[in-house]
Structure 1
Amino acid sequence: MNVTQDPAAAATDWGPFGRPIFDDPKARALSRVGVVDVGSNSVRLVVFDGAARSPAYFYNEKIMCALGAGLSDSGRLNPEGRARALSALRRFQHLARGMGLPPLSAVATAAVRDAEDGPDFCAEVLRETGLKIHVIDGREEARLSAQGVLLGWPGAYGLVCDIGGSSMELAEIHENTVGRRVTSPLGPLKLRDIKGGRKGRRDYIREVMEQLKSEMGTQRDRLFLVGGSWRAIARIDMHRRGYRLKVLHEYRMSAKDVRETAKYIEKRDMDKLRSDCGISSTRMALVPYAIDVLTRLIHTFKPKDIAVSSYGIREGLLYEQMPQRLRARDPLIEASRFAEMKDARVPGFGKTLYDFVSPLFSGARHSKRRLVKAACLLHDVSWRAHPDYRAEVCFDNATRANLGGLKHSERVFLGLALLHRYSNKRHGSSFEYLYDLLDEKGQHEAEVLGKAMRFGAMLMVTSNGEIGDLQWQPRKRVLHVTLPDSARPLYGEVAESRLKSLAKALDASVDLKFSKPAPEPEPEPEQAPE
């Protein structure tokens, strides 16, 4: 991940990740905000909380309303869906007031903008709830969805495809900016109304896709998939492959995977598949239409790989409110810092611990150093868990948490490092079936990091106290450990045992010494009066 750093911040002793930013007034203003997305298929409220750059979902509720059902024939919003949407928006506004939120940001997409009674619906919502809905056009919808992807992947490049109920948008992203963008009528709710059965639908999809290609040009980088129908297809792909980490964000598929999953969907009983994959019946009814769009999309644009994004238009609305200085930050590091500040016993020690263990990874790339940094910040946030389960709780939290900017293999690396922070052994864990998402080298590096943090934590007294230095000579297999003389009382049997465990993981001998305290400066002689 290529994250732009603030040069002024990078120049401080905080290193390449910059000084923590969550106490900045502009960041704190985004600490809890609510957004409403009135889509063609669903109406959703999301309340973000926590570190503004990588917010947690404080509240997330979705009502399947199908506002766009039948729109192609009637030209109007689905009456039943309209009533359900109004009821949902009454509830959301009431919840927002109860949470003490600032005014909700609400947007409506294809169904409301295309329906002849869309303006009347917005006026009714304003009259009944006080909530002003902003109806956005397709290009703006594409831009916001792309910004949502940038919230989770700073520096990402490629093609963002957001599918809703009544439309599908494309936008290109590069160097943290959104480029060309287009909208199309390829939403599943509209495709259901295409005449001529499946052949007629496929011919229509192919024709529209060629038009999109003529506008967007060649797009053979990564394809980011945004939208509930894409996530449903990803769940089915996971089920078909027997994929073990059920986290949709950053889930990867190849073009071959999509083709195989399309065949798999055709051959399976839809009710059983829906039950097996945990997909709602309303969403599952749209999957056959969405998979036809996805296979043609991939055939047309030929992306080099495919990534599922759980971030979309709602996150794009939050990104819209961020100052550029905040946008440029690494979401993983900011979320980890916020968690340390909120939950660690000694907030701030994570930086000291990172400085202590960094020599073990001196030649590592930035992508690995950011994981080391995140692990050090998170090393003590799960201390409230029962000691018998603390190691597994750490692994579970890291692999399944709502964290942006993490590939699945990186989630496992982070989880294993934190597991080894509390446990010498990883074998026998109930999560052992996930380890093979990370190669053996990565598993070993995670073990070394975890055991280094396990030893360093024995020296934790204050947030910024001197705890010593590590020097690693990999060719000679010697680990030099220099501890301050003030740490002698802390270096007892348990600390010694943890240092031996780290040395064993490195296949190294240990050279341990204590630095002598700096001599007290001699007082300057008094000057004789003249």
Structure 2
Amino acid sequence: MADKTDTPPPSPVPETGVADLGLFGKPLFQDPSARALARVGVVDVGSNSVRLVVFDGAARSPAYFYNEKIMCALGAGMAETGHLSPEGRVRALSAMRRFSKLAQGMGLSELTVVATAAVRDASDGRDFCDEVQRETGLKIWVIDGEEEARLSAQGVLLGWPGAFGLVCDIGGSSMELAEISGGRVGKRVTSALGPLKLRDIKGGAKARQAQIKTVIEGLAEKMGAQRDRLFLVGGSWRAIARIDMVRRGYPLHVLHEYRMTPKSVRETVKHIQTSDHEELRKISGVSSSRMALVPFAAEVLSRLVKTFKPKDIAISSYGIREGMLYEQMPQRLRDRDPLIEACRFAEAKDARTPGFGKALFDFILPLYKSAPPQRKRLVKAACLLHDVSWRAHPDYRAEVCFDNATRANLGGLKHSERIYLGLALLHRYSNKRENTRFEDLYEMVDEKTRLEAEILGKAMRFGAMLWMNPEEERGHLRWFPKKKLLELWLTDDMMPLFGEVAEARLNSLALSLGAEVQLKTCKK
């Protein structure tokens, strides 16, 4: 039996202090404590799969430098034998040898490796860990169920800072629940409701469902009422979400932040139970090994939703591996907005004039003085990203911008917000959005939102013509929404920049606003 007292090593960059929460304050990704997170390698030895992820975690929203998964099924047959699957051990050891070599090739000084339910419960779990260390030099930290729940919940917080609700992480051999509120992890519990274990229960569907009901009701007694959002973490949940997407004809195939209602969960579970699983697997793109576990996970999800009655359900692509990265982040980086920090990082890396995003935001801000904070946040993100795709071919630049915004690996961004951001960046380079391959996605937001995104894009399109030096202020906008009047104030030395193309772009912005334009001069 593996030693359950093992815990991962402490954070190499612990730090406390007041967070600099200002959007355009000092970029933390250049701070030494943040740069220490570049190329962070973690390995998750699970009951079903073994996965290596190498993060570039210097920005608050991590980039996946490398990601590889091997389906080993270490926990297969454990209910009967009590030890790890012999075939799974061979596959897992081979994977660890490969991952160790890859880490050396990437120049990683170390990998943090954690193992969960299968290794901690197996009679030969410790022997497996010793074998891996002998063969590869990698030490496996065997974590207990509550620690697994905590790390998974931290992964959710990486993408949803300040989120509140119930995190449910399902693996091959276990299922964990953790409460999150105000950016912190609260109560947490673990159970044996993993699909690999459920598959081995004797007595068929009736016995299995009775077991699921009993365990989840017991978990509910320990956790108390949890009527907020249910965050789902784990491959089986993501597979169910893919099937839900296909059933609904959902156009944006991004799993992170995908939302389901309790009703849609019930309908999708029924769809899984009544459909041919091979056909379902093909049309949803789920692997054969994952599809074999989906029916058992679906039964758990059905009972989970029925018992806890969440207001809505969100899929999180971030889990235990991202939680391990979050563990190493200094607190002031944790406190940052993942969307804004990722956009700032992209601007610093790819824009022609890094820092111009702030000048552009300041210039168009008069159009958004009465906008709610959540909308201003998206305006800030758009301004930071407005120039990062400049290397794309001019004929396709607008589409590249939309594609990047809607499909990029960004945390803290709802699907509807992805569409808004994508449309705004599309209009940064194009007055029109018709006749693109994305038109089915436009329908995910209403006409009012589409117009607001168009206005933002056209404001950036015009504003980008007036500055090259982000530190130099030469003019400003004034917006009078009741009068439908847009004033452009320019200094005398800025007037030469206001040529025919700039004037046409300003008039296009005014047309979308339904406004009259007045040009005025001001002192520098």
TM-score (norm 1): 0.94
Does 2:341 align with 1:310? no
Does 2:230 align with 1:223? yes
3-state SS of paired residue (1:219)? coil
2:76 to 64, 69, 78: 69
The answer for the alignment partner of 1:281 in structure 2 is: 288
Does 2:440 align with 1:409? no
* Inter-CA distance 120–411: structure 2 relative to 1 (3 Å threshold): same
Q: CA deviation at 1:480?
A: 1.0
* Inter-partner Cα distance in structure 2 for 1:17 and 1:150: 22
Does 2:226 align with 1:254? no
* Cα displacement string for residues 211-250 of structure 1 (whole angstroms, at most 9, x for unaligned residues): 1011101100000000000000000000000000000000
Q: Look at both structures and tell me which one has the larger radius of gyration over its CA atoms.
A: 1
1:498 to 494, 505, 520: 505
The answer for the alignment partner of 1:39 in structure 2 is: 46
Does 2:481 align with 1:474? yes
Aligned AA for 1:54?
S
Is the contact made by 1:466 and 1:484 (CA closer than 8 Å) also made in structure 2? no
* Inter-partner Cα distance in structure 2 for 1:245 and 1:272: 21
Q: CA deviation at 1:110?
A: 0.2
The answer for the alignment partner of 1:521 in structure 2 is: none
Instruction: Identify which range, 48-57 or 263-272, moves more after superposition.
Output: 48-57
* Cα displacement string for residues 184-224 of structure 1 (whole angstroms, at most 9, x for unaligned residues): 00000000111110111000000001110111011000000
Structure 1 alignment gaps of length 5 or more:
1-5, 518-530
Instruction: Identify which range, 432-441 or 135-144, moves more after superposition.
Output: 432-441
Name the % identity.
73
2:400 to 366, 389, 393: 393
The answer for the alignment partner of 2:137 in structure 1 is: 130
* Inter-CA distance 294–245: structure 2 relative to 1 (3 Å threshold): same
* Cα displacement string for residues 44-94 of structure 1 (whole angstroms, at most 9, x for unaligned residues): 001111543111111100000000000111000001011000111111111
* Cα displacement string for residues 286-308 of structure 1 (whole angstroms, at most 9, x for unaligned residues): 00000000000000100010000
Is the contact made by 1:191 and 1:201 (CA closer than 8 Å) also made in structure 2? yes
Is the contact made by 2:40 and 2:57 (CA closer than 8 Å) also made in structure 1? no
Aligned AA for 1:280?
S
2:208 to 193, 201, 222: 201
Matches within 5 A, 1:14-29: 15-16=22-23, 18-29=25-36
Structure 2 alignment gaps of length 5 or more:
1-16
Instruction: Identify which range, 170-179 or 456-465, moves more after superposition.
Output: 456-465
The answer for the alignment partner of 1:3 in structure 2 is: none
Q: CA deviation at 1:463?
A: 2.5
Is the contact made by 1:35 and 1:45 (CA closer than 8 Å) also made in structure 2? yes
Aligned AA for 2:458?
K
Q: CA deviation at 1:509?
A: 0.5
The answer for the alignment partner of 1:57 in structure 2 is: 64
1:239 to 232, 240, 246: 246
* Inter-partner Cα distance in structure 2 for 1:234 and 1:375: 29
Aligned AA for 1:439?
D
* Inter-partner Cα distance in structure 2 for 1:50 and 1:290: 31
Q: How many residues were matched structurally? A: 508
Matches within 5 A, 1:154-193: 154-193=161-200
Aligned AA for 1:137?
D
Aligned AA for 1:136?
I
The answer for the alignment partner of 1:88 in structure 2 is: 95
* Cα displacement string for residues 153-177 of structure 1 (whole angstroms, at most 9, x for unaligned residues): 0010000000000000000000111
Is the contact made by 1:108 and 1:133 (CA closer than 8 Å) also made in structure 2? yes
* Cα displacement string for residues 371-423 of structure 1 (whole angstroms, at most 9, x for unaligned residues): 00000000000001110000000000000000000000000000000000000
The answer for the alignment partner of 2:7 in structure 1 is: none
* Inter-CA distance 342–184: structure 2 relative to 1 (3 Å threshold): same
Q: CA deviation at 1:491?
A: 1.2
3-state SS of paired residue (1:380)? coil
Is the contact made by 2:19 and 2:333 (CA closer than 8 Å) also made in structure 1? no
* Cα displacement string for residues 429-479 of structure 1 (whole angstroms, at most 9, x for unaligned residues): 110110111122211111110000000111131232214211110000000
Question: After the TM superposition, which segments of 4 or more aligned residues of structure 1 sit over 6 Å from their partners?
Answer: none
Is the contact made by 2:255 and 2:317 (CA closer than 8 Å) also made in structure 1? yes
Aligned AA for 1:181?
R
